[in-house]
Amino acid sequence: MIKTKTLLMSVGSVVAAMTLSAGTAFAGCATDGMPGSMDRPGGFPERALGMVVPYGPAGGSGQVAQAMAQAVTELTGVAINRDHKPGGSGTVGMTAYLATPANGYTVLEHIDDASSAHALDSGRPNPAEDLIPLVISQITFSQIYIRASEDRYTDWDSFVAWVKAQDGKATIANVSKEGSMERINMKYLTDSTGMKIQQISFDKGAPRYGALAGGQVDALFEQPGDVRKFLDSGTFKPILTLLHSRPGAFADVPSLTDAGFDFEPLLRFRGFYVHKDAPADRVEWLQWAFQKAFCEKSYQDFNESKYMNLIESFRDSDGARELITATIAQYRDVYKQLGMEVK
């Protein structure tokens, strides 16, 4: 119990540290201090690397995998072949990855779904212990969106009041899977406000965004980078940021603190991993390559285009382990509160 509390405090401090930075421009990049080159251990890698991506090429994971692969190649000259194995909320890709040789030639892209899967079933791999995190290169927060033209409610307070008046008939588009980051954050919100809202699960982005744009649902739970085009075009507008301070790009949107909530929101994060049994010298080279590639211009431009620069998106291996471990503990805690069976 003490351990869980400690970890929850750790999540809190992680988020707090990020929110303190939110809205400020980062003067330098996280790995600017690392050496610009590194000797290849024993000639490794002598051929192209492989990257297992447990999601399709067009989604958030596919895009970050493509951007990171490009950045690593620009930095090292080593090509990376991406192998997309979608399905089962990342389970298929993880299983396929674990079946590859632990020689450092194949890396894995994965998101926080791997952490929540382990939190629910400890038989599933723990990304912090069963794998070695090379880098976490995207960390982002969620927001609640409504149509910009909506006149039934125009801000968070009026939205909550309107939802309560609907007596459970109001709807919000969300991502599928019980126990997911989205579901847990929504539970925090509904518990904190006392509102009842029907969550409609859409596993693909386009139908989810179309549902809000077309008026099929009343609101949308999403991360800002995924809906940036709708924000830039004035189709959607955020009414709540699930952070405790306001990121600069959303200075006029209330934060959790502004709305009077004290829960620690779960974050979306994407990173890159390698087998824990891979040779240490190769792991060290991969850590350098992926962490240094984070600061390549092409990757930084990519992250900026996805609003991934509003809070610090970088975690090295130790930072990644800390974030993953804290996140798993937080998920477990909530699962138990929800009465879900935690194995």
Minimum distance from CB of 121 to other proteins (Å)?
10
Nearest to 290 by CA among 79, 81, 134: 134
Minimum distance from CB of 333 to other proteins (Å)?
20
Nearest to 156 by CA among 167, 169, 144: 144
Sheet with 198-201, strands from edge to edge, namely 198-201, 171-174, 219-222, 143-147, 236-241
Taking residue 102's Cβ as centre, other Cβ atoms within 10 Å add up to: 14
Minimum distance from CB of 91 to other proteins (Å)?
5
Complex with other proteins: residue 63 or 291, whichever CB lies closer: 63
Q: What share of the chain is helix, strand, coil (3-state, %, to 5)?
A: 45, 15, 40
Complex with other proteins: residue 157 or 178, whichever CB lies closer: 178
DSSP-derived pairing of the beta strands 80-84 and 171-174: unpaired
Minimum distance from CB of 61 to other proteins (Å)?
13
Beta bridge partners of 271: 110, 136
Minimum distance from CB of 5 to other proteins (Å)?
29
CA distances from 14 to 110, 243, 311, 320 (A): 20, 11, 11, 11
Complex with other proteins: residue 175 or 243, whichever CB lies closer: 175
Helices in 214-294 by DSSP H: which ranges? 228-232, 256-259, 280-293
Complex with other proteins: residue 42 or 207, whichever CB lies closer: 207
DSSP-derived pairing of the beta strands 49-53 and 80-84: parallel
Minimum distance from CB of 243 to other proteins (Å)?
24
Q: Which residues contact 294 (CB under 8 A, 6 or more apart)?
A: 29, 30, 31, 68, 71, 135, 137, 300, 314
Complex with other proteins: residue 16 or 98, whichever CB lies closer: 98
Complex with other proteins: residue 20 or 79, whichever CB lies closer: 79
Complex with other proteins: residue 62 or 133, whichever CB lies closer: 62
* Positions in the binding site for other proteins (CB under 8 A): 56-59, 63, 66, 70, 83-89, 91-92, 94-96, 168-169, 171, 176-180, 198-204, 206-207, 209-211, 213-217, 228-230, 232-233, 235, 305
Minimum distance from CB of 289 to other proteins (Å)?
19
Structure tokens at 33: 């201090």
